[in-house]
Amino acid sequence: MDLSARLLRLTPPRPLVVGAPGGTAARLAVERAVRERGWQPAMSPAEANILVVAGLAGHTLEACVRQVWNLVPAPRARVDVVGREDVARLLDTALRVLGDVDQQRAEATRPPDADTGHVEAESHHDVTPDEHHGDHGHHGHDMGGMDMPGSVPMADRADDRDGLTLDQLHVPLGPVLPLWPAGLIVHTRLQGDVVQHVTVERLGAGGGSFWRPPGDDGPDVHRAVARWLDSSARLLALAGWTDQSVVAMRLRDEALTGAPAAALRRPLHRWAGRVRRSRTLRWLLAGIGSTPDDPTTPALLAGDALTRLRRWLDSTENALEQPPAPLAVPGMRETQWTMDALPELLAGVELAAARLVVASLDPDLDVLSRHEAHHG
């Protein structure tokens, strides 16, 4: 009908960006394109209408992405961006698909994708197994005779930190989660919103990091600045300060296109000053994710989330002042340490703080080599 077509044309595109391991360049290009077009990124599959996979999705990630795709309501379009060059073209195609009434009507009536494979706990995305778009559960859990709707077992109970016995939910964080490091899956045992126990898993093969290209004689100033700005933007977005996060992303995109240091210095200084001066941010981030104070902790990860954010701000400003200064970009040692330390850092922490902790550590899983899959 004409009304549906017109509403479809008016629909604002809301992309949900999935970062695949090794797809950092694609993710940055997609984020830049989305921001320049004025699209608002989606925070969950329910509000998304374009699913953008940035990078090449391996087997496990593809299964997760297909599950997430089942959760995206029509009108929807899926786009796989592998290289930086065809971002614009692919996003335009997605927009065209979104506006196509007949195709979307077919999408709306199509049954959910049945070949997501055996739904193991590891291959879930950010929502529990209880979620489903259709009305069949293809979860084959055995419950020993209890007749529950959807064949979902009741949650186990366990003691929690206050001495109560509460239900335990197994909620995996990642791999498909906005503002989450690509390729990281953190399997949590959640009681209420307190993370009781965590195991860390890593997806994908290391193919060399975008931020630290191998074979270079040291990181490039612009890349280093962009890395710190990217980490800061994600932390600020998770802390809820969207305006400053978007400014950081703008500066990051400008740094990546190789803008001269002189052009970047003033806006960067202004932004960093505003973030540093914010007493509310200081009050909110103090004490979150304090790393243990012993010599094994890498210097770049010492302190709490606020200290690390301040370190990023200082590094960014200093890098533009004196280019020959040593650029301490986090590398393999920091990421390795993070993967090993996350179970202790996240045990007993509330969910909001847990996400802030991971964002303040911002591990770059691409630096880890191919054969280091970690289960913490």
Partner 1 sequence: MVEQTAWWGTLLLPVVLAVLALAAATFDATLAARSAGGDLRAAAAAPLRSVAGLLVQQRRRTLAADTLLWRGAGIVLLVAAVMAALVTPLGRWAVGDLSVGVVWFNAMEIVAWAAVWLAGWGGNSAFALVGGYRFVAQGLAYELPHMFVLTTVAIGAGSLRVADIVAAQQDLWFVVWMPIAFVVYLVSVLAMAFFRPFDQPVGGDIGGGALAELSGVDRLVFVAGRWVLLVSGAAMAVPLFLGGGSGPLLPDWAWSLVKTAAVLAVLVWAGRRVPTVRMDRFTEVAWMVLIPATLLQALFVSIVVI
Partner 2 sequence: MREIAFWVCAVGAVGAGVAVFRVDSMARATFALLASFLFAGATVLLVDLTYLGVLVILMMIMEMVIMVVFMLMYMMNPAGLMPMTMVHNQKGSLAIAIGTFAALAAGVYLVDWPTSRTPRPADPTMQLGTALMGPNMLTMIVLGLALFATIIATVVLATSRGRYERYGHRLDRGRPDDPVRGGLGQ
The residues of the shown chain that bind partner 2, judged by CB under 8 A, are 146-149, 152, 154, 161, 163-164, 166, 283, 286-287, 348-350, 353
* Binding characters for partner 1, 76-105, by CB under 8 A (x = yes): ------------------------------
- Tokens coding 150: 């959807």
Closest distance of CB 162 from partner 2, Å: 8
CA nearest 119: which of 64, 198, 44, 184? 64
Of 59, 73, 143, 156, the residue at the interface with partner 1 (CB under 8 A) is 73
Closest distance of CB 126 from partner 1, Å: 6
Q: Which is nearer to partner 1, 327 or 349 (CB)?
A: 349
| Alpha-carbon separation of residue 304 from 234, 272, 311 (angstroms) | 16, 18, 11
Binding of partner 1 at residue 311 (CB under 8 A)? no
Closest distance of CB 150 from partner 1, Å: 4
- The partner in contact with residue 135, picked from partner 2, partner 1, none with C-beta cut-offs of 5 to 8 angstroms by kind, is partner 1
Q: Which is nearer to partner 1, 280 or 296 (CB)?
A: 280
- How many Å apart are CA 345 and CA 336, to the nearest integer? 14
In sequence order, the β-bridge partners of residue 78 are 51
- The partner in contact with residue 281, picked from partner 1, partner 2, none with C-beta cut-offs of 5 to 8 angstroms by kind, is partner 1
* Binding characters for partner 1, 21-40, by CB under 8 A (x = yes): --------------xx-x-x
Binding of partner 1 at residue 169 (CB under 8 A)? yes
Cβ contact 77:49 at 8 Å: yes
Closest distance of CB 259 from partner 1, Å: 14
Q: Which is nearer to partner 2, 196 or 315 (CB)?
A: 196
Residue 51 has a CB neighbour count (10 Å cut-off) of 24
- How many Å apart are CA 130 and CA 124, to the nearest integer? 11
| 25: Cα within 13 Å, side-chain hemisphere | 16
Cβ contact 78:69 at 8 Å: yes
Closest distance of CB 373 from partner 1, Å: 26
Binding of partner 1 at residue 281 (CB under 8 A)? yes
Q: What are phi and psi of 52, to 5 degrees?
A: -110, 120
* Alpha helix ranges (H) inside the chain: 2-10, 24-37, 59-71, 87-99, 101-109, 221-238, 242-256, 261-277, 279-285, 305-321, 332-346, 351-361
Closest distance of CB 158 from partner 1, Å: 16
- How many Å apart are CA 182 and CA 198, to the nearest integer? 18
Residue 343 has a CB neighbour count (10 Å cut-off) of 15
The three-state secondary structure class of 89 is: helix
Q: Which is nearer to partner 2, 156 or 314 (CB)?
A: 156
Chain residues in the site for partner 1 (CB under 8 A): 4, 6-8, 10-12, 14, 35-36, 38, 40, 43-44, 46-47, 49, 71, 73-75, 108, 126-128, 130-135, 137, 148-150, 152, 169, 171, 177-179, 190, 192-193, 236-244, 246-247, 250, 278, 280-281, 283-284, 350-353, 355-356
